[in-house]
């Protein structure tokens, strides 16, 4: 058994590859998180809409995302969806590192569906009287939501939303499957190029764990700093 | 080749892979892997969950650390560790099925441990105290008083975990295990002209399984809640 070679991780081409992977993983998280939050908010509001067909639409979206593995979503967006486009658009797409775009689409939709459910239950935790009182004071539905209901709902939803962020962080690793050069992809590449599996995987594991711990720490802090208020 | 012709040619391949002329694959392998994974993870998760709340620090701390590490790491990372290190531990090459099974058992056990812990901590403290006051030992009280009540609370979560495990088996694709996502990609390579339809079919297959299970969990949860609220 070879001994653990730390120097490999501290400098040189393998170090560069692993760092590039970590940077891309963090970039994926930074791009998909706001997209997923925005989508989640939209779908959560649709799920509470007074019109049945809008609620149905939100339900179909959430269930179809949550009951299919992310890997199958990624394969669909990367291999399946482009076939629906005209030939010229397809060629253009595959010229644009399309794997990263497909990963952003799949991850945002998948995480968005989970976040929509957390936001919806947060909104439902705010007593109906809050919305009714806001409407009675003359605010429109959207203004009442934005100024009165959502700020309170967010306190209920923050802890589950942060744990969804943790899931999103871990899920970025699955983008490996369509060839996105993120951390897991680079770790596997370093492993096959150097046969230094322990070093490559230790680096990746530690990097994933560190970011996960930061997110968990954030969750603990938020729970203490912004506890749900009794209305 | 049209969609119906594709189904007509490959339906058996989707369901069982090369079986009986070769190894089992396809949907059957996905279900076998998920079932075995959850069944084997159950006892381990139960033990870990009990250790998480036991009064002995020397046991509680390392197990808590283990659960945190596994939950902060992507499943794919666990799969990679298992794939490259099981052979060096056991001395002979480990097949993709055993690799994936072991990764699933480790990963699921850490999640089940939290379900078990939450299920037991949801019980009133008086249960343990009363059982101890009646002369039962700590383990005796767990076995005859707390676990029978706690396990009933956990049933919906366990059904949800089964759906999650089915989704997790899709990662077998990455190490070349012939489960249904892998088979779908193989069929896609052979047929070549129907990627959209093939991946939609893959998604629909997972959807039927997982949606059915999550609905079942929801109904179990409602029945439990009703029983608790009717004296």
pLDDT digits (tens, 9 = 90+) for B4-17: 999 999 999 999 99
The reply to whether residue A67 touches residue B184, judged by beta carbons under 8 angstroms, is no
With beta carbons less than 8 A apart as the criterion, state whether B45 and B111 touch. yes
Q: What span, in angstroms and rounded, lies between the C-alpha atoms of A149 and A157?
A: 12
Please say whether the beta carbons of A182 and A107 come within 8 A.
Answer: no
A80 contact residues in B (CB cutoff 8 A): 195-200
Q: Is residue A94 part of a domain?
A: yes
Q: Does domain B3-229 have CATH number 1.10.3720.10?
A: yes
Burial annotation B113-142 (CB, 10 A radius, 16+ → b, else e): bbbbbebbeeeeeeebeebeeeebeeeebb
Q: Do A171 and B74 touch (CB under 8 A)?
A: yes
Nearest residue of B to residue A195, measured between CA atoms:
B84
| Total length of chain A | 231
Selected residue with higher pLDDT from B139 and A5 = B139
- Of the pLDDT bands very low, low, confident and very high (cuts 50, 70, 90), residue B154 is confident
Residue A225 counted as domain residue? no
Contact call for A173 and B76, based on CB within 8 A: yes
CB contact under 8 A, B196 and A170: no
Residue written as token pair 């397809």: A90
Instruction: Compute the distance between CA of residue B151 and CA of residue A137 in angstroms, rounded to an integer.
Output: 49
Q: Are A111 and A171 in contact (CB under 8 A)?
A: yes
The domain tally of chain A equals 1
A119 within domain boundaries = yes
- pLDDT grade for B91, boundaries at 50, 70 and 90: confident
Q: Residue A106: inside a domain, yes or no?
A: yes
A174 falls within a domain = yes
Say what the pTM is.
Answer: 0.93
Domain range for A137 is 28-182
Mean pLDDT of B193-206: 96
Yes or no: say if A64 and A88 are a contact pair by the CB < 8 Å rule.
no
> Which residue among B80, B174, B203 places its CB closest to the CB of A177?
B174
Surface-to-core class of residue A153, CB atoms within 10 Å of its CB (0-12 exposed, 13-18 middle, 19+ buried): buried
Whole-angstrom distance, CA of residue B184 vs CA of residue A29:
28
Radius of gyration, CA atoms only, chain B: 21
Average pLDDT over residues A205-212: 97
Report H helices in chain B: 3-16, 26-53, 57-71, 75-90, 96-121, 125-133, 138-141, 147-168, 180-191, 195-229
- Cβ-Cβ contacts under 8 Å, A1 against chain B: 88
Which chain B residues touch A191 with a CB distance below 8 Å? 84
* Distances, alpha carbon A30 to alpha carbons A127, A168, A184, A185, A213, in Å: 33, 10, 17, 18, 17
Whether residue B107 is predicted with pLDDT greater than 90 in this model: the reply is yes
Q: 10 Å Cβ neighbour count for B165? A: 24
Contacts by A93-96 with C-beta closer than 8 Å and gap 24+?
none
Domain with residue A168: its CATH number is 1.10.3720.10
Nearest to A208 among B72, B167, B203 (CB): B72
Confidence of residue A160 (pLDDT cuts 50, 70, 90): very high
pLDDT tens digit sequence for B35-68: 999 999 999 999 999 999 998 999 999 999 999 9
Task: Among A68, A78, A84, A93, pick the best mutation site for testing chain B contact (most B Cβ within 10 A).
Answer: A68
Phi and psi at residue B24, to the nearest 5°: -65, 145
* Residue A230 pLDDT class (50, 70, 90 cuts): low
Residue A1 has pLDDT above 80, yes or no: no
Q: Contact B181/B173 with Cβ under 8 angstroms? A: yes
What pLDDT is attached to residue B152?
83
Contacts of B81 in chain A (CB under 8 A): 201, 205
**Contact between B80 and A184 using a beta-carbon 8 Å cutoff:** yes
Cis peptide before A136 (omega within 30 of 0): no
* CB pairs A-B closer than 8 Å: 108
Do the domain assignments include residue A178?
Answer: yes
- Is residue A90 in a domain? yes
pLDDT computed for residue B226 by the predictor: 84
pLDDT at A4 over 90: no
Q: Which residues numbered 3-32 in A keep a CB inside 8 Å of some CB on B?
A: none
Could you report the predicted ipTM of this complex, rounded to two decimals? 0.92
Residues of B in contact with A98 (CB under 8 A): none
């Amino acid at each position: 058994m070879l001994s653990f070679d730390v120097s490999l991780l501290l400098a040189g081409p393998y170090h560069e590859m692993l760092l590039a992977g970590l940077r891309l993983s963090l970039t994926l998280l930074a791009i998909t998180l706001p997209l997923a939050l925005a989508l989640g908010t939209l779908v959560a509001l649709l799920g509470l809409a007074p019109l049945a067909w809008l609620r149905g639409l939100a339900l179909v979206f959430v269930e179809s995302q949550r009951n299919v593995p992310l890997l199958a979503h990624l394969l669909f967006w990367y291999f399946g969806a482009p076939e629906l486009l005209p030939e010229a658009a397809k060629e253009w797409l595959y010229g644009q590192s399309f794997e990263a775009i497909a990963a952003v689409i799949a991850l945002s939709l998948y995480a968005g569906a989970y976040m929509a459910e957390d936001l919806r239950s947060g909104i439902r935790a705010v007593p109906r009287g809050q919305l009714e009182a806001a409407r009675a004071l003359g605010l429109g539905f959207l203004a009442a939501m934005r100024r009165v209901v959502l700020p309170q709902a967010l306190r209920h939803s923050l802890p589950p939303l942060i744990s969804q962020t943790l899931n999103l962080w871990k899920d970025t690793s699955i983008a490996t499957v369509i060839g996105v050069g993120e951390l897991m992809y680079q770790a596997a590449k370093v492993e096959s190029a150097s046969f230094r599996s322990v070093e490559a995987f230790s680096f990746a594991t530690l990097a994933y764990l560190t970011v996960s711990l930061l997110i968990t720490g954030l969750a603990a802090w938020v729970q203490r700093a912004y506890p749900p208020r009794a209305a | 080749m049209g969609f119906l012709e594709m189904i007509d040619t490959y339906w058996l391949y989707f369901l069982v892979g090369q079986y009986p002329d070769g190894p089992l694959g396809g949907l059957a392998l996905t279900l076998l892997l998920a079932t075995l994974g959850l069944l084997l993870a159950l006892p381990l998760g139960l033990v870990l969950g009990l250790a998480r709340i036991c009064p002995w620090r020397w046991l509680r701390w390392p197990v808590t650390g283990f659960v945190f590490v596994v939950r902060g790491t992507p499943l794919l990372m666990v799969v990679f560790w298992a794939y490259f290190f099981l052979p060096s531990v056991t001395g002979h090459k480990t097949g993709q099925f055993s690799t994936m099974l072991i990764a699933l058992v480790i990963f699921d056990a850490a999640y089940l441990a939290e379900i078990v812990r939450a299920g037991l901590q949801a019980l009133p403290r008086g249960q343990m105290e009363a059982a101890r006051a009646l002369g039962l030992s700590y383990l005796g009280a767990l076995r005859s008083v707390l676990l029978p009540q706690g396990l009933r609370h956990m049933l919906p979560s366990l059904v949800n975990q089964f759906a999650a495990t089915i989704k997790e088996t899709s990662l077998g694709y990455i190490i070349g295990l012939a489960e249904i996502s892998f088979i779908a990609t193989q069929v896609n390579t052979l047929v070549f002209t129907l990627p959209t339809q093939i991946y939609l079919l893959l998604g629909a297959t997972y959807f039927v399984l997982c949606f059915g299970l999550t609905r079942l969990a929801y109904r179990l949860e409602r029945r439990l809640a009703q029983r608790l609220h009717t004296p």
